Amino acid sequence: MNIHESEKIAGILEDMGYSECADESQADIIVFNTCCIRDNAEKRALGNIGAVKHLKKINPQLILAVVGCMTQQEDAGLTLRQKYPYVDIVLGTNNLFELENCINKLRNSKKKSVLIDPNERPEVREGEKVYRTSGTNAWLNIMYGCNNFCTYCIVPYVRGRERSRKMVNILDEFKRLLDEGYKEITLLGQNVNSYGHDLADGSSFAKLLEEIAKIEGKHRVRFMTSHPKDLNREVIDIIAQSPTICNNIHLPIQSGSNKILQLMNRHYTREYYLDTIDAIKSKIPDCGITTDLMVGFPYETEEDFEDTLDIVRKVKYSSAFTFVYSVRRGTKAALMPQIPPEVSKDRITRLIAEQNKITKELSKTYEGKIFEVLCEDKAPKKEGFVCGRTDSGRLVTFKGDESLIGSFVNVKINKSQSASLFGDIAEE
Ligand code: 5AD
Ligand code: SF4
């Protein structure tokens, strides 16, 4: 979501005549697109903003802008201006489109801008210019915002309520991206399964996927993120039947303990979640299932944590994003009693070790088999090698040259190393 938003920022700048430069010391403008989902994201953003202060001394014309979630928190925009007075422009998540005006104002009258619109339901904007940076893959927003208010999460406060794009606009953009040569399109939303609920025209995620599945051609579709309470059997069936929709589902469970799930306001139980996983596995046997997991949430006991480990062992995720709970001001969980950091640290270490073991075991099952891989890029730090993903979302590195990028290649896996798979192009 954040990367795609940065592509939109770059699109605005490109339209104004700016072009990408190799490093920040050559820049005429630097835009920081911030995230505040966890404290370390915010600290990193502030650290990065602090680290360019000296550039402003060397080049007083340099424009510094800070945008995104962090600025949208209560008073954060003003605090930012007070603590980092050399920042010229501060824009909230709803004001991104004002970047051009703000830059022009600064150029013409040296006037700085702080624009944070607290509206929880801003209009959905269409026709945004995007400067795409992700090679063969393109990101496509289907909706914005979130209605769920998980008690740990800042997103609904900084991104507002759910707003879906009209299906016709999504399908138009989808087809345009295919015409432009993108081979993989990832549909984006904080909770894609509730797509269309706000439209009152009968749109739903299942209907959208059905329409997308009808679009012919050799390409792949992924989507993120799903909420376990809303991922229904209809959607699972559509994925199972469609050759273009990848057998890959990201289904964040957060915790394996019913007590913690309730405190998190997640609206499902571990039993309900495991039922959904069973349905996925029976309909889509080769599905790559990934998740988000959190440890150290208020009131989490050793027994609750064991429940999370148990889920990890039962589901066998191909990979998982693991997080230590981070207190977010203004959320309900911030008022609950907090877990000592050393307990969280111990749990996250054990959780990562458990997941790594499973990822390694699953990787082994790929060895000796042939998979269709969409070649996406040169392999990092490996001359003469390229990399791409299987339908299930696993990263594969194999020998080949850049001309393969953007094409589908059958690769025989001959080695695995934790999450990484290595192979050779399979003979015809
Ligand atoms: N602390 C830690 N992790 C969080 N996430 C969201 N809010 C927090 C928080 N306060 C994680 C969740 C979510 C992912 C995007 O980030 O696991 O699924
Ligand atoms: Fe945050 Fe929950 Fe919404 Fe995800 S579903 S963005 S975790 S509030």
Query: Across the chain, what does the average pLDDT equal?
Result: 96
Closest ligand 1 atom number to CA of residue 37: 7
- pLDDT, average across residues 113-136: 91
CATH class belonging to 2-115: alpha beta
Closest ligand 2 atom number to CA of residue 154: 1
Give the CA angle between residues 380, 49, 320 to the nearest 5°: 45
Residue 309, by phi and psi: left (phi above 0), alpha (psi -120 to 50) or beta? alpha
pLDDT tens, residue by residue, 341-361? 999 999 999 999 999 999 999
pLDDT of 428 strictly over 80: no
pTM, to two decimals: 0.96
Burial level of 388, CB count in 10 A (0-12/13-18/19+)? buried
Q: What is the residue extent of each domain of the chain? A: 2-115, 134-246, 249-266+273-364, 370-425
pLDDT tens, residue by residue, 84-124? 999 999 999 999 999 999 999 999 999 999 899 989 999 99
- pLDDT, average across residues 126-130: 93
- Residues 6 or more apart whose Cβ sits within 8 Å of residue 384: 399, 400, 401
pLDDT tens, residue by residue, 29-53? 999 999 999 999 999 999 999 999 9
Percent of the chain with pLDDT over 90: 95
pLDDT value of position 76: 82
Question: Which of 93, 161, 191 for a ligand 2 pocket mutation test, highest count of atoms within 8 Å of Cβ?
Answer: 191
Burial level of 426, CB count in 10 A (0-12/13-18/19+)? middle
Q: Which CATH number is associated with domain 249-266+273-364?
A: 3.30.750.200
Fold classified for 134-246: Transcription Regulator spoIIAA (3.30.750)
pLDDT value of position 243: 97
Q: What string of DSSP letters covers 73-135?
A: STTHHHHHHHH-TT--EEE-TT-GGGHHHHHHHHHHH---EEE----SSPPPP-S------ST
Residue range 370-425 in CATH 3.20.20.140: no
If pLDDT is split at 50, 70 and 90, which confidence band does 381 have?
A: confident
pLDDT of 79 strictly over 90: no
Q: Are domains 134-246 and 249-266+273-364 of this chain identical in fold? A: yes
For ligand 1, is residue 158 a contact (CB within 6 Å)?
Answer: no
d(CA 391, CA 386): 17
pLDDT of 134 strictly over 90: no
pLDDT of 177 strictly over 80: yes
d(CA 158, CA 91): 12
Taking each helix axis from N to C end, the angle separating 233-241 and 205-214, rounded to the nearest 10 degrees, works out to: 10
Closest ligand 1 atom number to CA of residue 252: 18
Q: Which residues line ligand 2 (CB under 6 A)?
A: 146, 148-150, 153, 155-156, 190-191, 227
Ligand nearest to C-alpha 294: 1
Contact call for residues 214 and 253 (beta carbons, < 8 A):
no
pLDDT value of position 239: 98
Q: How far is CA 428 from CA 95, 218, 243, in A?
A: 53, 19, 21
Structure tokens at 178: 């295919």
d(CA 354, CA 373): 28
pLDDT value of position 82: 87
- pLDDT, average across residues 365-394: 96
pLDDT value of position 327: 97
Measured in residues, the chain has a length of 428
How far apart, in Å, do the first and last CA atoms of the chain sit?
39
